[in-house]
Amino acid sequence: MIIAPSLLAANAGRLASEAERAQRAGADWLHVDIMDGHFVPNLTFGPHVVRAVRKATRLPLDVHLMCSRPETLIEQFREAGASLLTVHVELGSRVAPLLWKIKSLGALAGLAVNPPTPIAEVRPFLKQIDLLLVMTVNPGFGGQSFIEETVPKIQQAAVWRRNAGLDFHLEVDGGVDFQTVAECARAGADTFVSGTTLFGQHSLRRAIRKLRQIAERHAPAAAPAAATPRLVAVA
């Protein structure tokens, strides 16, 4: 199980020390939401922020690009220290070259799917990816409620992964709290992004431990191959 606190919910006045705190608290990865004000109606971090965070922590940086033109950004975010870069399937015919570009830069490649987009759209790419991100809220803002209708998409993706003998991470993002994490784990997710819930607790360490325990308790008996993390802390 991978627990990835979302930097979006951290104290924006001191992101580097928040990243350090997440590492000390036992996070596996740090999730970094990049919004461009066009693909989603909000703006967040640029490569310079990712570079500062990279210096502050050894955690793998799971960089989620909610951007209309990731072509112009991937290289900069990789140079800034992104370990894994995720693009959205809603970009259509540009997805395959984007995944290829991410891999050619030596990063892991992720593919995200928004709640209204059918899960079938990711199917042609499953062999090419290291991570599938099933969005459990409409992207753009932290602190939204989990959309229950996304759970069958997680189940379907887990079935495809098992039947094809693939081992990509199955990640969920948005509204993941101490209740919804159980449903996601039961459906087959193994990688959990959580912002508001984790950073909203007095003890981040205890919150991460609790989220992990609930996820482990509800995981299907036959654990997926992706239980082995592909990314470990950088030197």
Which residue has tokens 């984007």?
A: 98
Structure tokens at 60: 């793998």
Interacting positions 22-51 with Zn ion (CB under 5 A):
33
From 5-13, 20-28, 54-62, 75-83, give the range in contact with ligand DX5 by CB under 6 A. Answer: 5-13
| Residue 175 binds to ligand DX5 (criterion: CB under 6 A) | yes
**Three-class SS string for the chain?**
CEEEEEHHHCCHHHHHHHHHHHHHCCCCCEEEEEEECCCCCCECCCHHHHHHHHHHCCCCEEEEEECCCHHHCHHHHHHHCCCEEEEEHHHHHHHHHHHHHHHHCCCEEEEEECCCCCHHHHHHHHHHCCEEEEECCCCCCCCCCCCHHHHHHHHHHHHHHHHHCCCCEEEEECCCCCCHHHHHHHHCCCEEEECHHHHCCCCHHHHHHHHHHHHHHHCCCCCCHHHCCCCCCCC
For this structure, is 190 an active site residue? no
Binds ligand DX5 by CB under 6 A, chosen from 21, 64, 88, 153: 64
Q: CB-wise, 117 or 220, nearer to ligand DX5?
A: 117
Query: What would the x/- binding string for ligand DX5 be over residues 73 to 112, using CB under 6 A?
Result: ----------------------------------------
| Residue 31 binds to ligand DX5 (criterion: CB under 6 A) | yes
From 21-29, 76-84, 134-142, 178-186, give the range in contact with ligand DX5 by CB under 6 A. Answer: 134-142
Interacting positions 148-177 with Zn ion (CB under 5 A):
173
Question: Are the C-beta atoms of 123 and 102 separated by less than 8 Å?
Answer: no
Q: CB-wise, 68 or 220, nearer to Zn ion?
A: 68
In the chain, the amino acid numbered 178 is F
Please tell me the number of Cα atoms within 13 Å of 178 on its side-chain side.
Answer: 11
Binds ligand DX5 by CB under 6 A, chosen from 196, 210, 218, 220: 196
- Which of the choices Zn ion, ligand DX5, none does residue 169 contact, using the CB cut-off of 5 to 8 A by kind? none
| Residue 142 binds to ligand DX5 (criterion: CB under 6 A) | yes
Options 28, 62, 173, 190, the catalytic residue: 173
| Residue 64 binds to Zn ion (criterion: CB under 5 A) | yes
Q: Catalytic positions, please?
A: 33, 173
Task: Tell me which residues touch ligand DX5 (CB under 6 A).
Answer: 6, 8-9, 31, 33, 64, 137, 139-144, 173-176, 193-197
- Chain residues binding Zn ion by CB under 5 A are 33, 64, 173
